[in-house]
């Protein structure tokens, strides 16, 4: 099948007739082609967005809200179709796409459809100066949204929904390895009555299509989720043009387990926070630190549970771990397992590719637990982004704080304890944008989301996202 660009409400082949193969990770076959869009395709998307901006930015917030909520309802009505497409493109279990990815994409539209109706401006009376200030929140114009492959529609819509809710028009690029649900979203937007040109989707490689978006002088804001190196590159390109940037980047998140935690709860959640979506979530707790007094017990229990996870075809209902997203990514993750061995880590379980019967060319890997000798080895410092976690013991709160913070990343951290003082102390000191205590990935879309250090700049979520996608203009009137 051929995926095409969605520009001005219509589907278009790329101008240069340049196509990229799209693989199904569960069996390694090519099942489609996507455009490798050129600068000219991006320019056409920009022109459509620019021409629509004057009318869209003047549409009442009730009308914008109505359309966003309609998109949300249509996504829900098409749950099965979207979940199957997401799984086929990404390799994740269909059950996960059905329970997490697609419902969350629908929630993104519903949430921002509602949030825009509550997004108010401020006024300040300058007492004694006979003046009043009010602050307008005006849409920026044409904005760029670029997203990764791990949670394709979930993250794509997490950017698009607030951007269009705030009155902007969008030029967006999904990851080139997972373009399918973004393509299907175009149809849904038309059906929901989204005016032509509000959302424009161009497919292609980061180095061509993505680069054309970030280099475009009149795309004045970029919301990006992806790797830290790409984020740094975007920042460099965008700086001379003074583009507004929101960068959600990599993570190497600590999962810190104290002996006083609710053990069973912790164990169950730790399996999930380690291996959900094949460990390909920026929020996964890939470094597990366990208080020494329960370390041996934890190791035994955790490894037993991990060995019970079923690696299998994404369509099988009992599959826990599907396929990794690509051959290239599988190779990268396998390389890290070798690096761990070279650095004297012990493989407590996993570490091998899995051949799934009938799908021998798929990209499957066992969930892998590595016991590492020190916290500064490479597998404990670098983002692997696969079904691989490290474990090591700690003795004191201060020791574990130091190790937890001794990475370049600072996206999220998870803490397991029932001690209130410790909770407060550690939550304050952990260098992360998000701290979960006795839970993981419990998301409330009103809360700010983002990282510190090399995990990014800016916050998404709630009014933070609406603030990002608007410019504040203060008007001061003397009376
Ligand atoms: P990449 O940085 O490789 O790619 C992300 C997106 O950027 C893709 O659409 C990619 O296109 C595009 N891109 C690549 N180069 C450029 C460029 N020069 N100009 C513009 N766009 C470009 O990340 P991955 O897709 O590999 O995603 C995995 C990463 O994303 C991990 O590091 C993960 O931690 C991070 N992530 C962060 C999250 C957060 O919220 N902080 C959430 C989820 C993931 P193409 O597909 O062609 O490469």
> Pseudo-torsion of CA 185, 191, 197, 199, nearest 10°?
-30
Query: In the structure, what pLDDT confidence band is assigned to residue 149 with cuts at 50, 70 and 90?
Result: very high
Predicted local confidence at residue 212, as pLDDT: 98
Give the per-residue pLDDT at 93: 98
Asked if residue 159 and residue 100 are part of one domain, the reply reads yes
- Do 364 and 465 fall into the same domain? no
Is residue 154 within 8 Å of residue 104, measured between CB atoms? yes
Residue closest via CA to ligand 1's atom 32 equals 227
Alpha-carbon distance of 364 to 104, in angstroms, equals 26
- What three-state secondary structure class fits 240? helix
Expressed in angstroms and rounded, the spacing between residue 361 Cα and the centre of ligand 1 is 25
Q: Tell whether ligand 1 has an atom less than 6 A from the beta carbon of residue 451.
A: yes
State mean pLDDT over 441-468.
98
Q: Tens digits of per-residue pLDDT, 113-125?
A: 999 999 998 999 9
Do 195 and 48 share a structural domain? yes
| Same domain (yes/no): 62, 195 | yes
At residue 170, φ and ψ (nearest 5 deg) are -125, 140
> In angstroms, rounded to a whole number, what is the distance separating the alpha carbons of residues 417 and 434?
17
Q: In angstroms, rounded to a whole number, what is the distance separating the alpha carbons of residues 119 and 108? A: 16
Note whether 460 and 443 are within 8 A (CB): no
pLDDT score recorded for residue 277 = 98
CATH number at residue 322: 3.40.309.10
Query: What Rg value do the Cα atoms of the chain yield, rounded?
Result: 23
User: Is any ligand 1 atom within 6 A of the Cβ of residue 9?
Assistant: no
Does ligand 1 lie within 6 Å of residue 167's CB atom? no
- For the entire predicted model, the pTM comes to 0.97
HSE toward the beta carbon, residue 284, CA cutoff 13 A: 23
Q: Are 456 and 150 in contact (CB under 8 A)?
A: no
CA–CA–CA angle 344, 337, 349 (5° rounding): 85
Which residue of 206, 411, 449 sits with most ligand 1 atoms within 8 Å of its CB, as the best mutation to test the pocket? 206
Q: Are 207 and 233 in contact (CB under 8 A)?
A: no
Quick one: angle between helices 79-90 and 180-192, nearest 10? Answer: 160
What is the 344 CA–ligand 1 centroid distance (Å)?
Answer: 31
Three-class SS of residue 395?
coil
**Distance from the CA of 146 to the center of ligand 1, in angstroms?**
8
Type and span of the H or E element at 283: none
DSSP notation for 142-194? EEEEE--SSSHHHHHHHHHHHHHHTT-EEEEE--TTS-HHHHHHHHHHHHHTP
Q: Are residues 87 and 209 in the same domain?
A: yes
Q: pLDDT band at residue 467, thresholds of 50, 70 and 90?
A: very high
pLDDT digits (tens, 9 = 90+) for 45-94: 999 999 999 999 999 999 999 999 999 999 999 999 999 999 999 999 99
203 and 56 in a common domain: yes
- Structural domain for 324, as ranges: 254-444
pLDDT digits (tens, 9 = 90+) for 250-300: 999 999 999 999 999 999 999 999 999 999 999 999 999 999 999 999 999
Q: Which two tokens stand for residue 146?
A: 């670029």
458 lines ligand 1 (CB under 6 A): no
- pLDDT value of residue 210: 98
pLDDT tens per residue across span 219-259: 999 999 999 999 999 999 999 999 999 999 999 999 999 99
User: Looking at residue 241, which CATH number applies to its domain?
Assistant: 3.40.605.10
Q: What confidence score (pLDDT) does residue 224 get? A: 98
Q: Are residues 231 and 274 in the same domain?
A: no
CA triple 111-155-302, angle to 5 deg: 105
Residue 241 located in a structural domain: yes
Task: Identify whether the C-beta of residue 64 lies closer than 8 Å to the C-beta of residue 113.
Answer: yes
Atom index in ligand 1 nearest the CA of residue 230 equals: 2
Could you tell me if the CB of 223 is within 6 A of ligand 1? Answer: no
Neighbours of 355 (CB within 10 A): 12
- 76-90 pLDDT, tens digit per residue, is 999 999 999 999 999
Q: What percent of the chain shows pLDDT beyond 90?
A: 100
- Tokens 């700086």 sit on residue: 239
> Minimal CA–CA distance to 172: which of 224, 105, 131?
224
Q: Does residue 280 share a domain with residue 349?
A: yes
Is residue 449 domain-resident?
no
- Phi (first) and psi of residue 354, to 5 degrees: -115, 135
Torsion 429-430-434-438 (CA) sign: negative
Ligand 1: residue of 152, 160, 226 to mutate (most ligand atoms within 8 A of CB) is 226
Give the total residue count for the chain: 479
Question: Would residue 450 count as lying in a domain?
Answer: no
Is position 62 annotated as part of the catalytic site? no
Q: Are residues 241 and 261 part of one domain?
A: no
Residue 474 has a pLDDT of: 97
| Distance of CA 383 from the midpoint of ligand 1 (Å) | 13
pLDDT digits (tens, 9 = 90+) for 11-24: 999 999 999 999 99
Contact, 254 vs 401, CB < 8 A? no
Nearest to 388 by CA among 338, 342, 425: 338
Give the number of domains in the chain.
2
Question: 348 and 398: one domain?
Answer: yes
**Nearest residue to 462 via CA among 109, 162, 56:** 162
d(CA 166, CA 405): 36
Task: Identify whether the C-beta of residue 474 lies closer than 8 Å to the C-beta of residue 135.
Answer: yes
Question: What's the mean pLDDT in 305-326?
Answer: 98
Q: What is the dihedral of CA 198, 204, 205, 206, to 10 degrees?
A: 0
For ligand 1, atom 11, the nearest C-alpha belongs to 206
Indicate whether 243 and 333 sit together in one domain: no
- What confidence score (pLDDT) does residue 195 get? 99
Cβ neighbours for 271, distance < 8 A, ≥ 6 positions apart: 302, 305, 306, 309
* 261 strand-pairing partners: none
CA distance 432 to 71: 33
Angle between helices 152-165 and 180-192 (to 10 degrees): 40
Average pLDDT of the chain to the nearest whole number: 98
Residue range 383-431, pLDDT digits in tens = 999 999 999 999 999 999 999 999 999 999 999 999 999 999 999 999 9
DSSP type of residue 99: I
The residue assigned the tokens 């999220």 is 412
Average pLDDT over residues 203-218: 98
CA of 251 to the centre of ligand 1 (A): 13
Residue 90 and residue 235 in one domain = yes
């Amino acid at each position: 099948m051929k995926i095409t660009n969605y520009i001005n409400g219509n589907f278009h082949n790329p101008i240069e007739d340049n196509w990229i193969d799209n693989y199904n990770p569960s069996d390694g076959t090519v099942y489609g082609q996507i455009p490798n869009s050129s600068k000219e395709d991006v320019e056409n998307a920009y022109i459509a967005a620019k021409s629509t901006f004057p009318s869209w930015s003047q549409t009442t917030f009730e009308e914008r809200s109505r359309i966003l909520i309609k998109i949300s309802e249509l996504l829900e009505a098409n749950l099965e179709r979207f979940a199957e497409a997401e799984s086929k493109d990404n390799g994740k279990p269909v059950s996960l796409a059905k329970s997490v990815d697609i419902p969350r994409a629908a929630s993104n539209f519903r949430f921002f459809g509602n949030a825009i109706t509550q997004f108010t401006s401020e006024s300040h009376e300058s007492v004694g100066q006979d003046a009043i200030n009010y602050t307008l929140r005006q849409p920026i114009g044409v904005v760029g949204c670029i997203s990764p492959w791990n949670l394709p529609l979930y993250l794509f819509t997490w950017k698009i929904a607030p951007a269009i809710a705030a009155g902007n028009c969008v030029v967006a690029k999904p990851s080139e390895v997972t373009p399918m649900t973004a393509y299907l979203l175009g149809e849904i937007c038309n059906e929901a009555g989204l005016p032509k040109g509000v959302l424009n989707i161009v497919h292609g490689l980061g180095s061509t299509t993505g680069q054309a978006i970030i280099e475009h002088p009149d795309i004045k804001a970029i919301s990006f989720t992806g790797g830290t190196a790409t984020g740094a590159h975007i920042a460099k390109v965008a700086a001379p043009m003074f583009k507004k940037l929101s960068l959600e980047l990599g993570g190497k998140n600590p999962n810190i387990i104290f002996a006083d935690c609710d053990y069973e709860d912790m164990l169950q959640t730790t399996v999930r926070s380690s291996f959900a979506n094949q460990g390909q979530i920026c929020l996964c707790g890939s470094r597990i630190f366990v208080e020494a007094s329960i370390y041996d017990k934890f190791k035994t229990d955790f490894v037993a549970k991990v060995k019970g996870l079923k690696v299998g075809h994404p369509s099988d209902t009992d599959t826990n771990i599907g396929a990794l997203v690509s051959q290239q990514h599988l190779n990268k993750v396998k390389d890290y397992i070798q690096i761990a061995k070279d650095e004297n880590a012990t493989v407590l379980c996993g570490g091998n590719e899995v051949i799934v019967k009938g799908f021998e060319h798929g990209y499957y890997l066992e969930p892998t637990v590595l016991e590492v000798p020190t916290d500064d080895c490479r597998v404990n410092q670098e983002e692997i982004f696969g079904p691989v976690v490290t474990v090591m013991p700690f003795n004191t709160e201060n020791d574990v704080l130091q190790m937890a913070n001794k990475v370049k990343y600072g996206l999220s951290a998870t803490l397991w304890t029932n001690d209130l003082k410790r909770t407060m102390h550690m939550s304050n000191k952990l260098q992360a944008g998000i701290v979960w205590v006795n839970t993981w990935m419990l998301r409330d879309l009103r809360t700010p989301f983002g990282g510190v250090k090399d995990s990014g700049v800016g916050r998404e979520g709630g009014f933070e996202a609406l603030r990002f996608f608007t410019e504040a203009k203060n008007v001061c009137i003397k009376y």
